[in-house]
Amino acid sequence: MYRWNERGSIPTPHAWREEFIDLHGDSRVTLTDAGPWAGLLEWQRSRSYGIALCGNVREEFVREPRHIRKDPRGVVELLVPTAGSARVEQGPSAGEIRPGSLALCDVDRPVTFSHGEEFQSVALLVPGEAIHRRNPAAARDPQVLDGTAGLGRLIRQTVLTLQEEREHLSEATFDIACDQVLDLLCLAADGGGDSAPAARRREVEAQVRQYVRRHAADPGLSVTGIARALGWSARYLQDVLQAAGTTSRDLIRSERLRLARTRLASPAWDTRSIAQVAYASGFASHASFATAYRREFGVTPRETRGDGL
């Protein structure tokens, strides 16, 4: 299993600041002591995602263009407040977040984040490229989402559960759960204030993604078959997916890779060879599967299974 990084209560303000900068990128972090030091920072990272619990400090975090040029991260951060309130400013957007809200910010854009010592939050750090691949509009501007109902509530509860249960999850399982949160997040971020035709395209896109996920193991899966099953033209589905920043081929490959990764991490598939898992997940070639898997997840299928450790 990949060894995760983790910290608990940080003994001094200086150590806390250094850990916070290491996690979020080069920045100006100002801490104001308001009593006995009790700074909290717990975090773990996989190769793709990170999660952190932070609080009990009075802080101002400023990330300016000079910091970004020096230390680009390629990360978008989802903040899930659990206590108190904080102010977030990025570009023309500024506002207060508190329990029940979710804030989505690109750490490679100038941002100011400030709060008192009563504030606590869980942050999910996700690759910006992964968001842009799913929904280019989702991370274009900072967004504050409602975390009290619907998809927002589901996202909030899942992130908090991931933080609480992180020590009991393998890296592969953690990444699979984060992938699912990211799908929901992109859907929620794209859900407000659009016209009816755009809303219809989102519905069709969701139908296509659901169909591909259910039939990913079918080696004959194609946009033509999907269109026939859902009652749309192949050209229309191609246009819907293109507007979402993907193609039918990329979507099918991505879902097959996710299916294969889930199976590689499952004890129920331990008796199957990696080649057998690849074929059972819709891939026609073991070699092409291994290449695509490493490109997508940054590890080999053998490393996910644990055989390479």
pLDDT digits (tens, 9 = 90+) for 59-70: 999 999 999 999
Q: Following DSSP, what letter does each residue of 257-280 receive, concatenated?
A: HHHHHHHHT-GGGTTS-HHHHHHH
Element (DSSP H or E) covering residue 80: strand 75-83
Nearest CA among 101, 157, 108 for reference residue 131: 108
Q: What class, spelled out in words, does domain 196-305 have in CATH? A: mainly alpha
Work out the average pLDDT over 270-279. Answer: 95
Question: What does the mean pLDDT of the chain come to?
Answer: 87
Residue ranges, CATH 2.60.120.280, the chain:
13-189
pLDDT band at 303 (very low <50, low <70, confident <90, very high): very high
How much is the average pLDDT of 203-223?
A: 92
What is the tens place of the pLDDT at every residue in 96-126? Answer: 899 999 998 899 999 999 999 999 999 999 9
For CATH 1.10.10.60, the residue range(s) in the chain are 196-305
- Read off the pLDDT band of 197 (50, 70, 90): very low
In whole angstroms, how far apart are CA 77 and each of 123, 163, 183, 293? 6, 14, 15, 25
Q: Which of 171, 243, 161 is nearest to 201 (CA)?
A: 243
Residue 55: is it exposed, middle or buried by C-beta count within 10 angstroms (0-12/13-18/19+)? Answer: buried
**H helix or E strand, kind and range, residue 208:** helix 196-215
When pLDDT is averaged across residues 141-149 and rounded to a whole number, the result is: 81
CA gap 47, 298 in Å, rounded:
7
Tens digits of residue pLDDT in 41-56:
988 889 889 999 999 9
pTM of the model as a whole: 0.75
**pLDDT (0 to 100) of residue 190:** 62
Q: Is the pLDDT of residue 185 over 90?
A: no
Are the C-beta atoms of 159 and 80 separated by less than 8 Å? Answer: yes
Asked if residues 59 and 121 have their Cβ atoms less than 8 Å apart, the reply is no
202: its two tokens: 């989102």
pLDDT band at 195 (very low <50, low <70, confident <90, very high): very low
Residue labelled with tokens 């490959």: 253
* Predicted confidence (pLDDT) per residue in 233-244, tens digit: 788 888 889 888
State the average pLDDT over residues 194-199: 44
DSSP string spanning 101-164? EEEEEETTS-EEEEE-TT-EEEEEEEEHHHHHHH-TTTTTS-EEEE-SSHHHHHHHHHHHHHHH
The confidence score (pLDDT) of residue 4 equals 47
The CATH number, out of the four listed (3.30.1050.10, 2.60.120.280, 3.30.470.20, 3.40.50.2300), of the domain defined by the range 13-189: 2.60.120.280
Predicted pLDDT at 309: 41
Instruction: Give 232 or 248, the one with higher predicted confidence.
Output: 248
